[in-house]
Amino acid sequence: MRKFKIILCAISLLLFAHACTESKSKQEEPVFRQVPEIAEVKPDKPLKIKLKRNAKDDYSWEINGDDVEGIVRADKQLRKDLKVE
């Protein structure tokens, strides 16, 4: 009976070792593709507005940022709100 258990353990170890080894013919290198819908989305940098007022109560400002359309919108809004033309 003890001999049977040793043989059974040896067979199971051989099967386990065989199952854990890699077979190069069956496994292929993974292929990674760039999917255009899944792209890294970076948040927009906020506009930086420096508002200045002089002694005559006249306003001026500096607008910095990467978004040109956002700069134009901010400039129009400032001109409208401060009634500067």
% of residues, the chain, pLDDT over 90 = 22
| Confidence band, pLDDT 50/70/90 cuts, at residue 21 | low
The per-residue pLDDT for range 31-63, each reduced to its tens digit, is 877 777 766 767 778 899 998 988 998 888 999
Evaluate if pTM is beyond 0.85: no
pLDDT score of 19 more than 70: no
- The span from the first CA to the last CA of the chain, in angstroms, equals 103
CB burial of 34-44 (b: ≥16 within 10 Å; e: otherwise) equals eeeeeeeeeee
Residue 70 or residue 17, greater confidence: 70
Max CA-CA distance within the chain?
A: 107
Phi/psi for 45 (5° steps) reads -75, 140
